[in-house]
Structure 1
Amino acid sequence: MEVSTGRIVLYGVLAGVLSGMLGIGGGIVLVPVMVSLLGLSQHEAHATSLAVIIPTAAASALVYGLHGQLDFSVAAMLTAGSVVGAAVGSRWMSKIPAAQLKRMFGVFLALVGLRMVVGG
């Protein structure tokens, strides 16, 4: 599937705005975009999304930090656990068939959305 560079950058801008505003973007926006609109496999989309999160999160965290809205000690502790968890999760992901991975991702998004709407 051939998609223009401009369109891909536009998808990135959308993900960046949502990431900065809502703390989401990489997975929730970009994975479905990359699978549905860019033709990447589910595994490629997950991996690419993780690569995109690094500079996106750094830019957002910098701005939030400048506004005094970043808890550095909590961020450090979550980072320590997340690095280990990400290594384990990415190894598991590579062993899961794409169709199952897509279903798991969809169920996760639905549960998170439901929790946010109902659970407050």
Structure 2
Amino acid sequence: MDWLLLIVIGFFACLAGSLMGLGSGIIIVPALMILSAISPLLTDITPQTAVGTSVLIMIVTGLSSTIAYIRQKKVDYKSALIFFSGSGPGALIGVWLNKGVDGDPFLIIFGTFMIIVSFGLVFRKKLKPLRIRGKGIRRYYKDEAGSEIEYGFTPCIAISLGLFVGLCSGLFGIGGGSILVPAMIVLFGFPPHRAVATSMLMVFLSAIVSSLSHIALGNIDWGLVLALIPGAWVGAQIGAEINRRLKSDTLVVILRIFLIFVGIRLIWQGVTGI
């Protein structure tokens, strides 16, 4: 029964992660922590194990969804590589910091973090993207209505953001997309679909770096990985297909609601233990 439940968790976590560009850790990490409290077979799951296992699964999620988004021609390769130049080193720092995270404080920090990130999306239409300074990157994208949208960023700001995203990825096991996607939309004017697709490529690259560190530290439960992978691969493909069919505003609303809901749930669990 636990094996079947893990397959289902992998499926829905990666469907949601691929749909919104968040990776899959935003669901897998808290789900594994909850299972450790209710399942007699999974009591040895620590926050470090949950994060390490989640990061390894994000390689599968990132690869599966990136392949789907490449087929849809939505991935901005240049932007993804610029963000990754910061997130790669950041992921290594996050993995090192993760060694000191434990129990309920982990859940409370994680939940508070989700809610803070969601506020940027609530006010996104009232905020103007950051000005592109110096030799900034300017990109163009045609939305679902056929309109051409200009977006862009200053590389040094993007790399700094990538560093922070990578740090959170290694620390919380969430793939960094929960910060990166809102930041790309609000700060840099990325069209939502473009932001999600590009984020998944960066999630994939960052997860490779983070997972190698977690493997070295012994934070991976390989039994959990094998159970989560089948659902993860299929879920990521379906999430990318659903994303293709959604309007931009609808996608942002789903992302905003999802971040707030998960944040509240994690804080409640951290405070009450329920």
1:46 to 196, 201, 207: 196
Q: Percent identity?
A: 32
| Residue 220 of structure 2: aligned partner | 70
Q: Deviations over 1:53-83 (max 9, x none)?
A: 1111111111111111111221233122111
2:257 to 88, 101, 107: 107
More strand by share: 2
TM-score, normalization: structure 2? 0.42
AA in 1 matched with 2:253: R
Partner Cα distance (1:74, 1:38) in 2: 37
AA in 2 matched with 1:17: L
Maintained 8 Å contact 2:168/2:176: no
Partner secondary structure for residue 94 of structure 1 = helix
2:231 to 66, 69, 81: 81
Partner Cα distance (1:75, 1:47) in 2: 24
Partner Cα distance (1:2, 1:90) in 2: 23
| Residue 173 of structure 2: aligned partner | 23
Partner Cα distance (1:22, 1:39) in 2: 26
Give unmatched runs, 5+ long, in structure 2.
1-150
Maintained 8 Å contact 2:165/2:180: yes
**What RMSD over aligned residues (CA atoms) do the two structures have, in Å?**
1.2
2:208 to 58, 61, 65: 58
Maintained 8 Å contact 1:26/1:50: no
Partner Cα distance (1:79, 1:52) in 2: 19
Deviant stretches of 4+, over 6 Å:
none
AA in 1 matched with 2:166: G
Task: Give the structure with higher Rg (CA).
Answer: 2
TM-superposed deviation, 1:2: 4.1
Partner Cα distance (1:25, 1:33) in 2: 14
| Residue 247 of structure 2: aligned partner | 97
Partner Cα distance (2:175, 2:252) in 1: 17
TM-superposed deviation, 1:25: 4.3
Partner Cα distance (1:27, 1:38) in 2: 15
More helix by share: 1
| Residue 7 of structure 1: aligned partner | 157
TM-superposed deviation, 1:15: 0.3
RCO higher in structure (CA 8 A, sep ≥6): 2
Q: Are the structure 2 counterparts of residues 72 and 20 from structure 1 closer, same or farther at C-alpha, using a change threshold of 3 Å?
A: same
| Residue 35 of structure 1: aligned partner | 185
Q: What is the aligned residue count?
A: 120
TM-score, normalization: structure 1? 0.93
Give unmatched runs, 5+ long, in structure 1.
none
Partner secondary structure for residue 40 of structure 1 = coil
